[in-house]
Amino acid sequence: MPLGVAIPESGVRRYMGFRGPVDTSPETDAMIAKAIASLEKDCSPKYVSKAFSVTVEGFTVKLADITIESRALARNLAGCTECVLFAATAGPFCDMLVKRAAVTSSAYASCCQAAGAAAIEAYCDLINDKIKDEYEAKGLYARPRFSPGYGDLALSHQKDWFRLLDITKITGIELTDSLLMVPTKSVTAIIGLSPNKLPCVRQGCEACTMSQTCAFSRKE
Ligand code: SF4
């Protein structure tokens, strides 16, 4: 499977706006299955990652030559000594598939759009797990990944990610003047690494049972 990871049907349904067990028509189920199979077969994912030392003072995060002012990120990275920046893309196929599908069926185009979102999420989870395992072996524990544009972490920091990781050259992802990425199914993120082990969940603080009490939760 070129994507390297299965696209969970539950994720596709969530991106389509279905909450919980919803009965959908056999036609919709078939379109979801077709979109998943197509993307698992023809996506060409790529990623780049790089580790940096990080310091956090108040709401200021410093790494490499950049300074980030973000209350939520500073909380999430408190106690971290290292971090990994990464960028990942599912590749251009998803955008082409959605465009092609939209000509004949907006319903199928929606399935492809949702399957693409679930595909890049599953691919990022795969990378996330690799980074987590690699650093755990060195005694550093991963916090949930955090992306520019989330909470008060300004989307303009995308430019720093692109410069520090040489993203366009390595992955082919382009950053538009309005800070959108092309292909659209692309993600940039930071993962904090701390010597203190927390019961973090990959799905993020929003899904963590500790979110109301944890001092490092990005969800206040
Ligand atoms: S709330 Fe949960 S996921 Fe978030 S930092 Fe705390 S332990 Fe980790």
Residue 22 has pLDDT above 90, yes or no: no
Token pair belonging to 121:
């999420």
Q: Round the average pLDDT of the chain to a whole number and report it.
A: 95
Report the nearest-CA residue for atom 7 of ligand 1. 200
Residue in the block written with tokens 């490499």: 64
C-beta separation of 161 from 84 below 8 A: no
Confidence of residue 66 (pLDDT cuts 50, 70, 90): very high
Domain locations in the chain? 9-207
In terms of C-beta density within 10 A (0-12 exposed, 13-18 middle, 19 or more buried), how is residue 154 classed? middle
Residue 13 alpha carbon to ligand 1 centre in Å: 26
* Interval 165-191 mean pLDDT: 97
* Interval 139-165 mean pLDDT: 96
CATH of 9-207 given 3.40.50.2000, 3.40.109.40, 3.30.1360.170, 3.40.50.720: 3.40.109.40
Closest listed residue to residue 89, CA positions, set 27, 200, 3, 195: 3
The string of DSSP letters for 23-56 reads ---HHHHHHHHHHHHHHHHH---EEEEEEEEEEE
- Cα 202 to Cα 100, 121, 144, 145: the distances in Å are 33, 11, 6, 8
Please give the pLDDT value at position 112.
98
Residue 141 has pLDDT above 70, yes or no: yes
To test the pocket of ligand 1, the residue of 56, 128, 141, 143 to mutate (highest count of ligand atoms within 8 Å of its CB) is: 143
Pocket of ligand 1 (CB under 6 A): 143-144, 198-201, 205, 208, 210-211, 214, 216-217
To test the pocket of ligand 1, the residue of 146, 200, 212 to mutate (highest count of ligand atoms within 8 Å of its CB) is: 200
Enter the pTM of the model: 0.94
To test the pocket of ligand 1, the residue of 198, 213, 219 to mutate (highest count of ligand atoms within 8 Å of its CB) is: 198
Please give the pLDDT value at position 202.
84
Interacting residues of 141 by C-beta distance below 8 A, sequence separation 6+: 132, 135, 193, 194, 195, 196, 197, 198, 200
Query: What is the percent of the chain where pLDDT is above 90?
Result: 87
Q: pLDDT digits over 68-103, tens only?
A: 999 999 999 999 999 999 999 999 999 999 999 999
Would you say the C-alpha torsion 133, 163, 152, 62 has a positive or negative sign? Answer: positive
Residue 147 alpha carbon to ligand 1 centre in Å: 16
Residue 108 has pLDDT above 80, yes or no: yes
Residue 54 alpha carbon to ligand 1 centre in Å: 19
* Interval 117-136 mean pLDDT: 96
C-beta separation of 90 from 3 below 8 A: yes
Residues paired with residue 57 on neighbouring β-strands, in sequence order: 60
Residue 220 has pLDDT above 70, yes or no: no
In terms of C-beta density within 10 A (0-12 exposed, 13-18 middle, 19 or more buried), how is residue 103 classed? exposed
* Interval 6-28 mean pLDDT: 90
Please give the pLDDT value at position 23.
82
